A and B are shown apart, each in its own frame.
Chain A
Amino acid sequence: MPLLALKDICKKFGTNVVLNDVSLDVEPGEVVAIIGRSGSGKSTLLRCINGLEIADRGTIEFGGKAFRPTRSHLKALRRETGIVFQSYNLFPHLSVERNVTLGLTAGKGLPLMEAKRLARDSLSRVGLEDKIGSYPMQLSGGQQQRVAIARALAMQPRLILCDEITSALDPELIDEVIKVLEQVANNGMTMILVTHEMRFAQRSADTVVFMHKGQVWEKGPPKTLFAAPATAELASFIDAILPLGVDAV
């Protein structure tokens, strides 16, 4: 049974159709990379999965249970899914440790000591245990993004969503985040990533989904998809993003 099953998801903003009958199954432990041009609906799809946007039509099943956009369903869904944003969205007034423990204490109701233990564990997984008392603005972009990953991991989610999490980083900081992502993926975490980072998509994703005009245009294992795109749209996207060919990355 898939961990996440999306069926015929539609989303419009005004008259602009952003998602048009998107269906996607994600198995436990699977790493799905969603690629596509700007405006193809990738981020909106991710936001619909987490309930930050409510789909106009279609069904979302998580762990075999149908999701409805009620307050209790949203809270339950968000306890099971972590999200990492492009611009980190850390809380600047809270220390690194409190950024990570806040969801555990105020969201999940864990005792503070247990939350602190979980925070230390997840910060050490991203190599930032020494920054526990720092504030987000005292960290580099890469470090802030790693804290955001630690914050999501600490909630012990069954699924992690990543929305273009390397896009706001300087090139020299991307690698440190990619390494952490690969490590999380290798530990068996189910992940859906919207990404322009083709190295990660090729190396670590089990499935790559190419979105175009609000639809799942193509999907498959990265090797097949990048080596032999079935549609002209994907071929043109690959040419644009990888002008030196697949082997270049």
Chain B
Amino acid sequence: MNRNFALPEFVFLLQGLRWTLLLSCIAFFGGSILGLAIATLRISPILPARWLAVGYIQLFQGTPVLMQLFVTYYGLPVLLGVQVDAWTAVSLAFTLYSAAFMGEIWRGSIQAIPRPQWEAAACLSLGFFKQLWYVILPQATRISIAPTVGFIVQLIKNTSIASIIGFVELSRAGQLMTSATFKPMIVYPVVAALYFVLCWPLSLLSQMIERRIDATIGIKRHM
């Protein structure tokens, strides 16, 4: 007899959602740290540093995240002789993947700040990192809010790819519940709704932060 889609099945999906959320957080925070380093290298006056950053970005933006995941999960044991479990593989793969995209988003945001802002900070006797910290990054952050949140939303949805190596996140949990209940038309809309519940507030939060910053510094928004 087939199972019904009831509270225990929904709780199972919520458990999958928990891992989706956790994986997204790891990829975002890990990717942020690495991405900031990538962005800094990309704008560095040192040419080899820029090449290194460009090479990294091209590699990870030019290959599918699925392949990156396979290489991490199946390739590392072959290449380095270390066995990695599914958690480590997906965390590593999504961190490296998100660092390439966030690094590029932030590089663009930093370079969007007009050159005279750097010059004005330099004229106040601020060195490169102080110029970056006090003057450039706060303004670049405002510019990068929308694309960063857009990428986080993509990242959350892309974590479903992790199911391919047996990682039970929300999509995989949905597949398992579909197999158990034979009610795909109930299970998948619920899975989609749970993704939506996760992503939609992020978009709202991004707009709210932008509005608050604009109101504080006196920017009038076009409606």
Chain A positions within 8 Å of B, measured between CB atoms, are 50, 52, 71, 74-75, 78-79, 81-83, 85, 87, 89-93, 102-103, 106-108, 134-138, 151, 155
Given contacts A93-B138, A135-B216, contact A108 B125 (CB under 8 A): yes
Chain B positions within 8 Å of A, measured between CB atoms, are 116-117, 119-127, 130, 134-135, 138-139, 142, 213, 216-219
Q: Name the distance in Å between A206's Cβ and chain B's nearest Cβ.
A: 24
* Residues on the B chain within 8 Å of A138, using CB: 218
* Residues on the A chain within 8 Å of B122, using CB: 52, 74, 78
- A82 and B126 alpha carbons, distance in the complex (Å): 13
- A87 and B115 alpha carbons, distance in the complex (Å): 12
If over half of A's interface residues share one DSSP class (helix, strand or loop), that class is named, otherwise mixed; here it is: mixed
- Which residue in chain A gives the minimum CB-CB distance to B136? A91
Are B135 and A87 neighbours in the complex by a CB distance under 8 Å? no
- Which residue in chain B gives the minimum CB-CB distance to A71? B127
Residue from A78, A81, A91, A135 within 8 A of B218 (CB atoms):
A135
Q: Name the distance in Å between B136's Cβ and chain A's nearest Cβ.
A: 10
Q: Name the distance in Å between A141's Cβ and chain B's nearest Cβ.
A: 14
Q: Name the distance in Å between B137's Cβ and chain A's nearest Cβ.
A: 10
* Residues on the B chain within 8 Å of A85, using CB: 116, 119-120
* Residues on the A chain within 8 Å of B125, using CB: 75, 78-79, 103, 107-108, 155
Q: Name the distance in Å between A71's Cβ and chain B's nearest Cβ.
A: 7
- Which residue in chain A gives the minimum CB-CB distance to B130? A106
What are the nearest 10 A-B pairs in CB distance?
A103-B124, A107-B125, A89-B120, A137-B218, A138-B218, A135-B217, A78-B125, A107-B124, A89-B116, A135-B218
* Residues on the B chain within 8 Å of A136, using CB: 217-218
Identify 7 residue pairs between A and B in the complex whose beta-carbon atoms are under 8 Å apart, listed by A's number: A78-B125, A82-B123, A91-B135, A102-B134, A102-B135, A106-B134, A136-B218
Q: Name the distance in Å between B46's Cβ and chain A's nearest Cβ.
A: 15
Q: Name the distance in Å between A111's Cβ and chain B's nearest Cβ.
A: 16
* Residues on the A chain within 8 Å of B130, using CB: 106-107
Are B217 and A92 neighbours in the complex by a CB distance under 8 Å? yes
- A155 and B123 alpha carbons, distance in the complex (Å): 10
Give me 19 other A-B pairs in contact (C-beta within 8 A), A91-B117, A91-B120 excluded. Answer: A52-B122, A75-B127, A79-B125, A81-B123, A89-B116, A89-B120, A91-B139, A92-B139, A93-B139, A93-B142, A93-B217, A102-B134, A106-B126, A107-B124, A107-B130, A108-B125, A135-B216, A137-B217, A155-B125
- A78 and B119 alpha carbons, distance in the complex (Å): 11
Q: Name the distance in Å between A100's Cβ and chain B's nearest Cβ.
A: 10
- A26 and B135 alpha carbons, distance in the complex (Å): 32
Q: Name the distance in Å between B157's Cβ and chain A's nearest Cβ.
A: 32
Given contacts A89-B117, A102-B134, A106-B130, contact A151 B217 (CB under 8 A): no
* Residues on the A chain within 8 Å of B127, using CB: 71, 75
Residue from B119, B126, B138, B213 within 8 A of A103 (CB atoms):
B126
- Which residue in chain B gives the minimum CB-CB distance to A79? B125
- Which residue in chain B gives the minimum CB-CB distance to A107? B125
Are A102 and B116 neighbours in the complex by a CB distance under 8 Å? no
- A81 and B121 alpha carbons, distance in the complex (Å): 13
Are B119 and A89 neighbours in the complex by a CB distance under 8 Å? yes
* Residues on the B chain within 8 Å of A135, using CB: 216-218
Are B124 and A106 neighbours in the complex by a CB distance under 8 Å? yes
* Residues on the B chain within 8 Å of A107, using CB: 124-126, 130
